[in-house]
Structure 1
Amino acid sequence: MELIKLKVKEVAAKGDCAKRIVDSFIESCIRLDASIIEPLIAEDQYFDEIDKYRFLISLKQQFDWAVQRGAKEIKMTKGKCEMCVIGHSTYEFHAHRHVPEFAYIINTKQDKIQDIFLCNLSSGWKTFSK
């Protein structure tokens, strides 16, 4: 499975624009609605050479799978990546189950957003093994 990343353009990586992107992304995940983040992604913006619509489709798939598992109300918690970017903070999105429905990394470097991508092994999944 390919890793689809939202690469944030340099002009939007800091300040108010970056905050709007992060806030809208989190709101999209909580509401299970990819259309909330869509207007903030430029048409010509690419994500590892993948257009914005592939990213949005990937995001919507996560939301659809969560709904199929019975998710209605989503809450966000923080976790830690335990695989690709070990120790990086993650945003875990929980519904009625003990484990996250999905988790994302908002990768930052020197207070700039680099990219946003799915985390496949966030610390919240450890709850499942307990």
Structure 2
Amino acid sequence: MSELIKLKIKSEATTGKTAQKITSHFIEACLNLDCSILEPMIDEDQYFEELDKYRFLASLKQQFDWAIARGATNITMRKGKCEICVIGHSTYEFYGNRAKPEFAYIINTRKNGIRDIFLCNGSSGWSN
């Protein structure tokens, strides 16, 4: 069974321009396999579901390191759909040189904000 990793964003950081910046920096970090792009967007006192800021960044870096170890270069993003975690929810799939995604995340939004961000191990790209 795959592990589900969730990142919870504080409520004051979930709306408006802050949410847009977190989303865009998160995607940019994934495309560049570089956690330092996202790190400044996360406040020191920001909490995560079971992971503090630095442990979350370490888990994200681990995803990036695994992709690099598999030879991933020139990361691209495609939209997919979750088939296990939150069935039917859109996912962000990140591809390297393989036909299957290196990793995929759900950015769960509501109105103009972010509810959470989490690794999706059941995105449609793995079944194609």
TM normalised by structure 1 equals 0.92
Residues 1:58 and 2:65 aligned together: no
For the 8 Å contact 2:4–2:120, the answer to whether it is kept is no
Rounded to whole Å, the distance in 2 between the matches of 1:5 and 1:76 is 20
CA distance in 2, matches of 1:119, 1:49: 17
1:80-99 maps to which residues of 2 (within 5 A)?
80-99=81-100
Tell me how far apart the structure 2 counterparts of residues 84 and 119 of structure 1 sit (CA, whole Å): 6
In the alignment, is the contact (CA less than 8 A) between 2:95 and 2:101 conserved in 1? yes
Cα deviation digits, residues 30-86 of structure 1 (max 9, x gap)? 000011001111111111142111110110000000000000110000000000100
Shift of 1:2: 5.2
Size of the aligned set, in residue pairs, is 127
TM-score normalised by length of structure 2: 0.94
Matching residue's letter, 1:30: L
How far apart, CA to CA, are the structure 2 residues paired with 1:116 and 1:9? 12
Q: Deviations over 1:75-114 (max 9, x none)?
A: 0000000001000000000011111000000011233201
Kindly indicate whether residue 96 of structure 2 is the aligned counterpart of residue 103 of structure 1.
no
User: Equivalents in 1 of 2:92, 2:56: separation in Å?
Assistant: 17
Please tell me whether the aligned partners of residues 4 and 50 of structure 1 are also in contact (alpha carbons under 8 angstroms): no
Partners in 2 of 1:2 and 1:56 — Cα distance? 16
RMSD: 1.3
Match of 2:44? 43
